């Protein structure tokens, strides 16, 4: 599988989002998905301390074992676990990192990400604490999530040591918010972009169609934010575009994201082995600039 860089890290262009572990999936089910991902050539695993109320990290810590050094392991901190575990204060960052290292059963985190901006803490203080973790060898690279272009610039200017090498924001054919500002900032500064919700919670897999009943047992239900406005009309246009080129909408979703050069890895969640195989198999359509521009007109 093709690999791209996040700072000094080399990651597969298809990653595994681990938000289902400890929530929708128990330990045995998680093991099945993890094994399938590794077998398929995925080496980038992205989790967070809040996923599964810390169980996602715990499950990975139990399951990776000797395979730990075969993967690039990313986690996040900052969103509220409970009243005492949240935010980006330096003293909490030190505690959160130690807690994640223990749960993950590892001596280092490859990519440690601030999950959300914390406006109550100067970014220089947050970066100082993260730099201490890098200097101590507990973290290899640092990143952020849900940051605007302005916040990225502020962090860049405030850094005295380790700097953010990546930003993880929502981005898909149905969510274009990063296009005008964040992606150009990433390109200018050499930051890797990691899109979350790349398949818009399944809308870009082709299983949700206009005028047809919603599939049972899926995350999206009637009244969901994912179904607001003309989203299903856009899905039908995207399916028609992809099929007109001899591809599926899933291949389009991956190919379109990877056509944006700052994008390092498309981290799609999975609950079944079949989803892992489909995601890995979807990579390979290299969209032209003309096709990217045409798609912008379809969904913009």
Q: How many residues does the chain have?
A: 300
Q: In whole angstroms, how large is the CA radius of gyration of the chain?
A: 19
Strand 72-77 with 192-196, pairing: unpaired
CA atoms within 13 A on the CB side of 160: 8
Distance CA 21, CA 58 (A): 9
Distance CA 258, CA 228 (A): 26
Q: Identify the residue whose tokens are 């993967």.
A: 71
Strand 139-145 with 164-170, pairing: parallel
Distance CA 138, CA 219 (A): 36
Instruction: For the beta carbon of residue 121, count every other beta carbon within 10 angstroms.
Output: 18
- The yes-or-no answer on residue 51 being catalytic is yes
The DSSP bridge partners found for residue 44 are 72
Q: Which two tokens stand for residue 280?
A: 């890995």
Which are the catalytic amino acids?
Answer: 51
């Amino acid at each position: 599988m093709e690999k791209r860089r996040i700072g000094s890290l080399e990651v597969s262009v298809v990653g595994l989002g681990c938000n289902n572990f400890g929530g929708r999936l128990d330990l045995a089910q998680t093991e099945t998905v993890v094994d399938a991902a590794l077998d398929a050539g995925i080496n980038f695993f992205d989790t967070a301390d809040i996923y599964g109320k810390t169980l996602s990290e715990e499950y990975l810590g139990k399951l990776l074992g000797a395979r730990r050094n075969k993967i690039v392991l990313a986690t996040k901190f900052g969103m509220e676990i409970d009243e005492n575990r949240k935010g980006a204060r330096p003293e909490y960052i030190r505690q959160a990192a130690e807690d994640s290292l223990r749960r993950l059963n590892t001596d280092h985190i490859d990519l440690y990400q601030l999950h959300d901006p914390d406006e109550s803490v100067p970014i220089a203080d947050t970066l100082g604490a993260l730099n201490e973790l890098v200097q101590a060898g507990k973290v290899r690279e640092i990143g952020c999530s849900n940051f605007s272009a302005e916040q990225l610039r502020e962090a860049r200017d405030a850094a005295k040591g380790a700097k953010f090498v990546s930003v993880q924001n929502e981005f898909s054919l149905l969510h274009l918010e990063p296009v005008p500002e964040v992606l150009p900032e990433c390109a200018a500064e050499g930051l890797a972009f990691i899109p979350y919700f790349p398949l818009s919670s399944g809308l870009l897999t082709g299983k949700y169609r206009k005028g047809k009943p919603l599939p049972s047992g899926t995350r999206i239900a009637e009244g969901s934010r994912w179904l607001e406005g003309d989203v299903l009309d856009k899905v039908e246009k995207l399916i028609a575009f992809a099929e007109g080129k001899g591809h599926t909408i899933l291949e389009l979703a991956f190919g379109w994201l990877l056509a944006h050069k700052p994008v390092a890895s498309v981290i799609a969640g999975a609950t079944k082995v079949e989803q892992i195989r489909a995601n890995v198999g979807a990579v390979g359509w290299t969209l032209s600039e003309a096709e990217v521009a045409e798609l912008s007109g379809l969904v913009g």
